[in-house]
Structure 1
C-alpha cells in the first residue's frame, strides 16, 4: 500500500512538473508576442475596426449596449488573438529560442525598435544588427514566410469573428 502511495506521489509530481513547464513556455511566448510589437498591432487593428464601425453605425440608444461592450472588451479580444497566436510560435520555435527573443525585445534596443525604430541610437542600431545577424536572428528571418502564413490564418479567423460579433451588436 505504501508503495502505491509513493508511486502516486511520483506520478503527481511528474504531471505537475510537466504541466508547469508547458505553462512557462506559453507564458514566455505570450511575453514575446506582447514585447515584439504584435500586441501593439492588434490593439491598433481593434481601434481601427471601431473607427470604421463608428462611421457605419454611429452610437444610438438602440446600439449603445453593443458599443459599450466593444469599448469595454478591447483587452479581452486582443488577449484572445494573442493566445490564439501562441501555438504558432510554440510550433515554430523552441522554448530556448523564445527566451533569446524575449531577452532581445526586453532590452533597450528591442524596446526602442518596437516603439520607434527611427529613433534608435547608433549603439542600439548595432545591437539590432548584431541580433538579426546572429543564429537566432537568422532563424527568425528564415521562418518569416511560414509564420506569416500561419499567423495570417489565425488573424483572419479572429478578425472575421470579431467583425461578425460587432455587426450583430450594432445593427
Structure 2
C-alpha cells in the first residue's frame, strides 16, 4: 500500500510532464515559421555558399544555382521537429506560438539577428580579455616562458 501511495505522489508531483501531450508536428512547423527560424537557416546558407565558391572558383554559376535548388530548408525542419518534441509539450508550443503572434513577439523576432550579432561581438571581446588575463597570470607565475600575446 505504501508503494502505491508513493507512486501516486510521484505521479502527482510530475503530473504535468507525465500526462502532457507531445508537441504536434504542425504546431512546431508554425513555431519555426513564426519565429523566423526558417529564415535564419536560409541566411546561414547565403553566408556558406560564397565561402564554398572561393574553394572552387572554377565551378560555373549554373552549378551553384543547382546546389541552391537542392538545398531544402524544409528538410532542416524535419530534422529539428523531434528535438522540439523531446523538450516541449504541445501546450508549451501553443504558448510560444501565441507569444510570437503578439507585438512583443514580433519585435523580438525582428530584433533577434541584431541581438545575436552584437552578443557574439561582445562575447568574443570578453573571451579575448579573459584569455589575456590568464596568459598574463601564467607569465607572472612563470608557468609559461615564451612571449605569448
Superposition TM-score tier, normalisation by shorter sequence: 0.5 to 0.7
> Structure 2: which 5+ residue stretches go unaligned?
1-20, 115-149
User: Structure 1, unaligned stretches of length 5 or more?
Assistant: 1-20, 120-171
Query: Aligned partners of 1:27 and 1:39: how far apart in 2?
Result: 14
Once the two structures are TM-superposed, the CA of residue 64 in structure 1 deviates from its matched residue by 4.8
Kindly indicate whether residue 78 of structure 2 is the aligned counterpart of residue 86 of structure 1: no
C-alpha deviation, 1:81, in angstroms:
0.9
- What is the aligned residue count? 94
Deviation at 1:26, TM superposition (A): 0.2
Q: Does 1:96 align with 2:96?
A: no
Residue 51 (structure 1) aligns with: 50
Q: Which residue of 2 aligns with 1:32?
A: 31
Counterpart secondary structure, 1:115: helix
- How far the C-alpha of 1:109 sits from its partner, in A, is 1.5
Q: Per-residue deviation at 1:37?
A: 3.2
Taking structure 1 as the reference length, the TM-score comes to 0.47
Give CA deviations for 1:94-118 in whole Å, capped at 9, x if unaligned.
1111011001112222112111259
Q: Is the 8 Å Cα contact of residues 59 and 67 (structure 1) preserved in structure 2?
A: no
Deviations 1:73-129 (A, max 9, x none): 34x2x211111101111111111110110011122221121112599xxxxxxxxxx
TM-score (norm 2): 0.54
- The structure whose residues are more often helix, as a share, is 1
Q: Aligned partners of 1:39 and 1:118: how far apart in 2?
A: 13
Kept in 2: contact 1:35–1:105 (CA 8 A): yes
Larger radius of gyration: 2
- Please state how far the C-alpha of 1:59 moved relative to its aligned partner: 5.5
Matched, 1:116 2:115: no
CA shift in 2, pair 1:52/1:29, >3 Å: same
The alignment yields a C-alpha RMSD, in angstroms, of 2.8
